[in-house]
Amino acid sequence: MDIDASEVLKNIEHFINGLPERLKQPLEQACLTIEGDAKKNCPVDNGILRASITHDIEQTDTGLVGYVGTNIEYAPFVEMGTGIHAEKNGRKDNWTYYHAKSGKFYRTNGMIAKPFLRPAIEANRANIISYFSDLLKEG
């Protein structure tokens, strides 16, 4: 059986040219999966952090990019901890702060990390790979 190289190249080119559009569905599925688990993992105080977790997909110069996260200012401190408990570059000692509502001073050494986003990615790594594997099987 003779294989026509030009036909193979044409098929590859057709597959690659249509790839950005076909990537949207598995990328959306991957982002939604991570977003859902991150919300489940999120420690809840009043629910603002959990409610703020969302995703977005955008076209960049290098292709489609999916983002999952939050715009809440304190989210990185919840995810990675603070003070002596911080995963990177935390304080090495205790500190005191004033709480205006209570009118009291408090001493702390920081907050232990309560990761919610990274565990959502890790727990779904196989699922995410399968979403994109299905796309490659089409090609």
Under DSSP, is residue 99 helix (H, G, I), strand (E, B) or coil? strand
Q: Which residue stretches of the chain have pLDDT < 50?
A: none
* Residue 126 confidence (pLDDT): 95
Report domain extents, the chain.
Answer: 5-71+113-138
The reported pTM is 0.77
How far is 34 from 78, CA to CA, in rounded Å?
17
What torsion do the CA atoms of 63, 131, 129, 114 make, to the nearest 10 degrees? 90
**Are the CB atoms for 58 and 65 separated by under 8 Å?**
yes
